[in-house]
Amino acid sequence: MVFTLWFIFRPDAANVWENKKVVERYSRYKGILDGKKTARFLISKKIPVEISEEDSLERLWREHDKTAEKYNEIISQIDNGELMINELETPKISFLDLKEKIAWKILRECHFCERRCKIDRFEGKHGFCRLGKESFISSAFLHTGEESVLVPSGTIFFTGCTFTCVFCQNHDISQEWCYEKNGNVSGGVEASPKKVALLAERLWREGARNINLVGGDPTPNIHTIISALKEFEKNITILWNSNMYQSLEATKLLLELMDFWLPDLKYWENDFAKRMSGINHYREIVTRNIEMAYRAGSGEILIRHLIMPGRVEKDTFPILEWCAKTIPQSMVNLMDQYHPDYLVQRIGNEYRDIDRRITSKEWQQATFKADELEIFWRPVS
Query: What are the pLDDT digits (tens) for 327-373?
Result: 999 999 999 999 999 999 998 789 999 999 999 999 999 999 999 99
**In-domain check, residue 112:** no
Model pLDDT, residue 7: 61
**In-domain check, residue 209:** yes
Model pLDDT, residue 188: 78
CA distance 183 to 174: 14
Query: What are the pLDDT digits (tens) for 188-217?
Result: 799 999 999 999 999 999 999 999 999 999
Q: Is 40 left (phi over 0), alpha (psi -120 to 50) or beta?
A: alpha
Model pLDDT, residue 16: 96
Residue-range definition of the domain harbouring residue 17: 2-39+135-380
Query: Between the CA of residue 216 and those of 62, 89, 294, what are the distances in Å?
Result: 32, 38, 23
**In-domain check, residue 160:** yes
Q: What percent of the chain has pLDDT over 70?
A: 95
DSSP 304: E
- Amino acid identity for residue 294 in this structure: Y
Query: What are the pLDDT digits (tens) for 252-289?
Result: 999 999 999 999 999 999 999 999 999 999 999 999 99
CA distance 335 to 344: 19
Q: What is the mean pLDDT of the chain?
A: 95
**In-domain check, residue 86:** no
Is residue 299 scored above 50 in pLDDT? Answer: yes
**In-domain check, residue 239:** yes
CATH classification of the domain holding 32: 3.20.20.70
Is residue 305 scored above 90 in pLDDT? Answer: yes
Query: What are the pLDDT digits (tens) for 45-83?
Result: 999 999 999 999 999 999 999 999 999 999 999 999 999
pLDDT band at 1 (very low <50, low <70, confident <90, very high): very low
**In-domain check, residue 130:** no
**In-domain check, residue 26:** yes
**In-domain check, residue 65:** no
Query: What are the pLDDT digits (tens) for 116-172?
Result: 999 999 999 999 999 999 999 999 999 999 999 999 999 999 999 999 999 999 888
Q: Burial code of 95-110, b = ≥16 C-beta within 10 A, e = fewer?
A: bbbbbbbbbbbbbeeb
| Number of structural domains the chain divides into | 1
Spatial CA neighbour of 281 closest among 251, 250, 245 = 245
